[in-house]
């Protein structure tokens, strides 16, 4: 069942390039995203004034990355809500809102309750779900299945990257039908999305490099993940993954927020995983890295080959291939997952079944 891998999580990390292909390729028509077979008509994307994304945990983090991409491109408000919060609010959604529900299992109780609430407000609901025929899929107006195949390890890996791929395609289709993208721009976007697949493969091949760096993490009580913009959204997922399977306390911060309190926790040898793949904020993130380095942090920098980093900025640097800034999440996700995986293995923990966690959260 594990195909020779020691754990399901490692197997599922390796399955991501194929999972991405399975999610993207059947929905490509002449190089453009096409949801005809999913029975999602374009008016769903045209007749709305706002997008509201709702999910829990890793799925919510996929939503946060999608939001950072969507809002500047579509020029309409894109909000992300934690399902367990949204369901007890009196949310500002209506019949001009497209509510995107993200759930691997399609059974998370808070997410399901949020879906039902959004429907009661008259919103159009589109769910991004992995498990066929699940309750969320059945109750949504429209469903976009991610084709990741079964995910066994409790810590979500391939489900996250295919959720992102599906959301990126939605974003591209919306931009096209709302006149924000020309056909050429949409084709270019999809080409870059496909380029992220070999970039993921390249990072999987670098797994021994990641394995070696976890010696700097496994004996530490805390770790910090920092980034700006899209990189901040990726940091949130990196911290969650590390916490849930290695039990190392990890926090993600928007890099510019550190100086508003958290930098007090940065002392000698505290691991800081800094993600700097976005060119528009690169120099700002580098300044934040200098700040933590000056306080003795052990900096692991994840960046892009093409971005110039002065020597001595980081203790360890991992470069992802030079792909479009908006698509760096795919190779970065692989690195973050491998960091958590090898930290858990290094601490001799139960990687696939971490304590206190269930794969599908069907209780409130
Ligand atoms: C973390 C993880 C969880 C799930 C969350 C939502 O690795 O897997 O945070 O993402 O419980 O689950 P779904 O996507 O099934 O609704």
277 and 320 in contact (C-beta within 8 Å)?
yes
CA of 38 to the centre of ligand 1 (A): 23
312 and 301 in contact (C-beta within 8 Å)?
no
Q: 361 in ligand 1 pocket by Cβ < 6 Å?
A: yes
Q: Average of pLDDT values for 29-54?
A: 97
Nearest residue to 9 (alpha-carbon basis) of 341, 363, 330: 341
Q: Whose CA is nearest to atom 8 of ligand 1?
A: 156
Q: Whose CA is nearest to atom 5 of ligand 1?
A: 57
CA of 146 to the centre of ligand 1 (A): 14
Pocket mutation for ligand 1, best pick of 8, 60, 81, 108 (most atoms within 8 Å of C-beta): 108
According to DSSP H, which parts of the chain are helical? 8-14, 16-24, 43-46, 57-74, 83-86, 109-120, 135-139, 158-177, 183-205, 207-213, 230-246, 282-294, 329-346
Q: Average of pLDDT values for 63-86?
A: 97
Q: Cα 63 from chain centroid? A: 7
**Kind of pairing, strands 28-29 and 32-33?**
antiparallel
- DSSP-assigned letters across all residues of 155-193: S-SHHHHHHHHHHHHHHHHHHHHTTSS-HHHHHHHHHHH
Whole-number pLDDT of residue 197: 98
- DSSP-assigned letters across all residues of 308-346: ---TTS-SEEEEEP---GGGTHHHHHHHHHHHHHHHHHH
Element (H, E) at 143: strand 142-145
Point out the ligand 1 atom lying closest to the alpha carbon of residue 111: 16
In the chain, the percentage of residues whose pLDDT exceeds 70 is 100
Q: Whose CA is nearest to atom 16 of ligand 1?
A: 103
**Phi first, then psi: what are they for 316, rounded to 5°?**
-135, 140
Whole-number pLDDT of residue 280: 96
Q: Cα 16 from chain centroid? A: 13
Q: Whose CA is nearest to atom 10 of ligand 1?
A: 58
Q: Average of pLDDT values for 144-161?
A: 96
- CA dist 165 and 329 (Å) reads 10
Whole-number pLDDT of residue 360: 80
| 45 pLDDT tier (thresholds 50, 70, 90) | very high
CA of 262 to the centre of ligand 1 (A): 27
Q: Whose CA is nearest to atom 11 of ligand 1?
A: 57
CB burial of residue 264 (10 Å; 0-12, 13-18, 19+): exposed
- CA dist 353 and 332 (Å) reads 24
Whole-number pLDDT of residue 104: 97
CA of 58 to the centre of ligand 1 (A): 5
Q: Which two tokens stand for residue 296?
A: 């003795």
Pocket mutation for ligand 1, best pick of 7, 13, 56 (most atoms within 8 Å of C-beta): 56
CA of 198 to the centre of ligand 1 (A): 26
Least confident of 58-62, 147-151, 180-184: 147-151
In the chain, the percentage of residues whose pLDDT exceeds 90 is 94
- CA dist 161 and 142 (Å) reads 20
pLDDT tens-digit map of 265-283: 999 999 999 999 999 999 9
Q: How many residues make up the chain in this entry? A: 364
pLDDT tens-digit map of 180-227: 999 999 999 999 999 999 999 999 999 999 999 999 999 999 999 999
- Name residue, tokens 């290695």: 246
| 62 pLDDT tier (thresholds 50, 70, 90) | very high
| 362 pLDDT tier (thresholds 50, 70, 90) | confident
Q: 57 in ligand 1 pocket by Cβ < 6 Å?
A: yes
CA of 83 to the centre of ligand 1 (A): 11
Whole-number pLDDT of residue 364: 79
Q: 244 in ligand 1 pocket by Cβ < 6 Å?
A: yes
Q: 63 in ligand 1 pocket by Cβ < 6 Å?
A: no
- Residue 4: count other Cβ atoms within 10 Å of its Cβ: 6
CA atoms within 13 A on the CB side of 72: 7
Chain mean pLDDT for the chain:
96
Whole-number pLDDT of residue 358: 82
Q: Model-level pTM? A: 0.97
Whole-number pLDDT of residue 359: 81
Whole-number pLDDT of residue 339: 98
70 and 93 in contact (C-beta within 8 Å)?
no
CA of 242 to the centre of ligand 1 (A): 14
- Provide the 8-state DSSP code for 293: H
Q: Average of pLDDT values for 67-95?
A: 97
Q: 155 in ligand 1 pocket by Cβ < 6 Å?
A: yes
- CA dist 282 and 49 (Å) reads 32
């Amino acid at each position: 069942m594990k195909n020779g891998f020691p754990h399901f999580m490692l197997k599922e990390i390796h399955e991501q390039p194929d999972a991405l292909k399975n999610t993207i390729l059947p929905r490509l028509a002449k190089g453009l995203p096409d949801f005809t077979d999913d029975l999602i008509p374009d008016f769903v994307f045209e007749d709305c004034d706002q997008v509201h994304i709702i999910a829990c945990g890793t799925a919510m983090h996929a939503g946060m990355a999608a939001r950072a991409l969507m809002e500047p491109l579509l020029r309409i408000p894109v909000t992300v809500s934690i399902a367990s919060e949204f369901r007890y609010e009196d949310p500002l959604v209506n019949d001009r809102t497209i509510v995107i529900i993200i759930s691997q299992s399609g059974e998370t109780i808070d997410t399901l309750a949020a879906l039902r609430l959004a429907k009661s407000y008259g919103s159009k609901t589109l769910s991004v779900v992995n498990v066929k025929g699940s309750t969320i899929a059945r109750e949504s107006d429209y469903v976009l299945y991610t084709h990741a195949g079964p995910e066994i390890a409790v810590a979500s890996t391939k489900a996250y990257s295919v959720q992102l791929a599906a959301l990126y395609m939605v974003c591209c289709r919306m931009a096209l039908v709302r006149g924000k993208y020309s056909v050429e721009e949409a084709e270019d976007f999809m080409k870059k999305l496909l380029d992220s697949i070999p970039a993921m493969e390249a990072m999987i091949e670098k797994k021994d490099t990641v394995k070696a760096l976890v010696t700097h993490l496994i004996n530490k009580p805390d770790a910090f993940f920092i980034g700006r913009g899209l990189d901040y959204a990726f940091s949130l997922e990196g911290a969650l993954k590390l916490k849930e399977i290695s039990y190392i306390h990890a926090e993600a911060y928007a890099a510019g927020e550190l100086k508003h309190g958290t930098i007090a926790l940065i002392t000698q040898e505290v691991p800081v995983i800094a993600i700097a793949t976005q060119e528009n904020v690169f120099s700002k993130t580098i300044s934040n890295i200098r700040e933590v380095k000056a306080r003795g942090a052990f900096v692991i920098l994840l960046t892009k080959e093409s971005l110039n980093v002065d020597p001595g900025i980081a203790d360890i640097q991992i470069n992802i291939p030079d792909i479009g800034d908006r698509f760096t999440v795919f190779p970065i996700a692989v690195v973050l997952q491998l960091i958590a995986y090898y930290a858990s293995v290094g601490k001799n923990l139960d990687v696939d079944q971490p304590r206190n966690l269930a794969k599908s959260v069907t209780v409130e």
